[in-house]
Amino acid sequence: MRGPLLLNYPLFNKGPAFPEQERRELGLLGLLPPHVDTLETQVERAYEAFRAKPTDLERHIYLRALQDENEVLFYRLMQDYIGETMPVVYTPTVGEACQRFSHIYRHPRGLFIAYPEREHIDELLANTAQREVDVIVVTDGERILGLGDQGAGGMGIPIGKLALYTLCGGIHPARTLPVLLDVGTDNPDLLNDPLYMGWRHPRVRGTEYDEFVERFVQAVMRRYPNVLLQWEDFAQANAGPLLERYRDRLCTFNDDIQGTAAVATGTVLAAVKVTGTRLRDQVVAVFGAGSAGCGIAEQICAAMVRDGLSETEARSRCFLIDRSGLLREGLSGLPPFQQAFAQPAARLAGWRVDRAGTIGLAEVVNNARPSVLIGVSGAAGAFTESIVKAMADYTPRPIILPLSNPTSRCEALPAQILAWTEGRALVATGSPFADVAWEGRTIPIPQCNNSYIFPGLGLGILAIGARRVTPGMFMAAAQALANASPAATDPHGPLLPPLTAIRNVSRLIALAVAKEAVAAGVAAPASDADLERMVDERMWTPAYARLTGC
């Protein structure tokens, strides 16, 4: 690889930072300005260009173009300015980027596997540049954040997630592969858009869909038998069944179900410590009982059992509210993952049911008196002033986590929550928000985002060579995150570490996950010293390597 070809290969391209000897050896003389840059100089030039863009979407487009041109520079820029760049590469800006995907498309990245090509998936995988892949993030684009069906535009999510695997967890970018399973779209705006780049067909469902996914998984296992496969942004009807179908066949997990659960649980554990109480004493209300909400409730229940409750006692303390209201005994049509949280009728004696036959969030708050309120509904403004004030009336330090993404779908704004609770609430959000000024002090608002969990989880799994992803790994990750909370040592500190510390947090989580893998028998035994060495050796740092010509 020499000359112009080398300059167009983002993993090796250094741009003007190629030193003179490499320029001579690799056929680059005359193809670059004569001055030799340092990486630091390139970062400042790139940052200046980034800041000059007028909107976050334009900044997203710029960063994606930089990633396709020079990956070392891209990740070094993100690392040095993580607070500004990470929300642009991922939430919340990635939502708009997915909606506008066909209009802002510039350069190919990742693998599109369309349903009409289902007989040729092995050939499609063979067309990728990577002969070895450690992590695949795959979506079918049906439930992108809180925005719904984005069809082929959903590819923005795997691309963004894998960028965070590298940025936060040090997974080498050459060993990652984003995949979009294009089974059509039911979004009429996309089907009627002349620029839409996906397969123009209603979504394939049922047996045909299942067979298509099965073909994909089998092809992946043939080509990359040791890969970590992450399912991302699948609709509720498919997310849980896919996880159950494949969790014992390969190393795989669903980040919306398990990663969201782990980061929420870790945040709640940190908040409970601030309140001076125990997790087993909390009452939890989860607004949004889809795969994410039920996953969070399952993880919190498991943590309560570890704190001394029986499973029945733990479930009795978790109230889940869906579109049909509180999950409760007697409701018809509840899927199995929701049935586990249906509250017995006897426990709800005297509660009011509205004209539609539902028990809403306000009724749950007024009767169950939760100390923890979590939102994963995508319903903006659902945590109203009256609901939050009711919590604050009987809970000295209410724990309130409006986690829906993007920002436009947040259940309540942090400034509102703190005003309604007179600054007493412990708040974390799914999207990034600025600190809130309250009566002469500044209250930081941590982003309770899966990026605190999945990069470290993946790093630990790959470092130890785990054969499967176990539930215990997510509990280990949640506890490690809680232990890293600044609030653990400073009651006025944020519940989660700053983004600038996220690589250190990922390392701690990786060590905890690797130890759990050994304990669970899904990885070979290793000493603590060996685990640290294996994790550290796996963490890639964005720096230019010496290249030599033949």
Query: Looking at residue 32, what DSSP letter applies?
Result: S
Q: Give the chain's domains with CATH numbers.
A: 258-451 (3.40.50.720)
Q: Quick one: angle between helices 156-169 and 454-464, nearest 10?
A: 70
For residue 79, which phi and psi values (nearest 5 degrees)? -65, -45
Q: What pairs with residue 111 in β-bridges?
A: 179
Tell me which residue of 383, 436, 447, 384 sits closest to 414, measured CA to CA: 436
Radius of gyration from C-alpha coordinates of the chain: 24
Confidence of residue 77 (pLDDT cuts 50, 70, 90): very high
> In this predicted structure, what is the pLDDT of residue 550?
57
Binding-site sequence positions for a divalent metal cation: 232-233, 256
Q: Which residue has the tokens 């997310």?
A: 239
Q: What is the largest CA-CA distance in the chain?
A: 83
Query: Which one is catalytic: 62, 75, 81, 161?
Result: 161
SS3 472: helix
> In this predicted structure, what is the pLDDT of residue 548?
85
Take residue 517 and report the two structure tokens written for it.
């893998």
Confidence of residue 17 (pLDDT cuts 50, 70, 90): very high
Share of the chain above pLDDT 90, in %: 91
> In this predicted structure, what is the pLDDT of residue 407?
86
> In this predicted structure, what is the pLDDT of residue 492?
83
Binding-site sequence positions: 143, 232-233, 256, 405, 449
pLDDT at 371 over 90: yes
Binding-site sequence positions for (S)-malate: 143, 405, 449
279 within 8 A of 269, measured Cβ to Cβ = yes
Helix (H) or strand (E) holding 402, with range, is strand 399-402
Q: Is 196 a catalytic residue?
A: no
User: For 467-517, what is each residue's pLDDT tens digit?
Assistant: 999 999 999 999 999 999 999 888 888 999 999 999 999 999 999 999 999
User: For 139-177, what is each residue's pLDDT tens digit?
Assistant: 999 999 889 999 999 999 999 999 999 999 999 999 999
pLDDT at 357 over 90: no
Q: Is 209 a catalytic residue?
A: no
**Helix, strand, coil percentages, rounded to 5, for the chain:** 50, 10, 40
User: For 44-66, what is each residue's pLDDT tens digit?
Assistant: 999 999 999 999 999 999 999 99
Task: For residues 233 and 255, give the distance between their C-alpha atoms in angstroms, rounded to a whole number.
Answer: 8
Confidence of residue 130 (pLDDT cuts 50, 70, 90): confident
- The mean pLDDT value for 273-289 works out to 96
pTM value is: 0.94
| Burial of 221 per CB tally in 10 Å (0-12, 13-18, 19+) | middle
Query: Which one is catalytic: 14, 75, 90, 209?
Result: 90
Task: For residues 121 and 171, give the distance between their C-alpha atoms in angstroms, rounded to a whole number.
Answer: 25
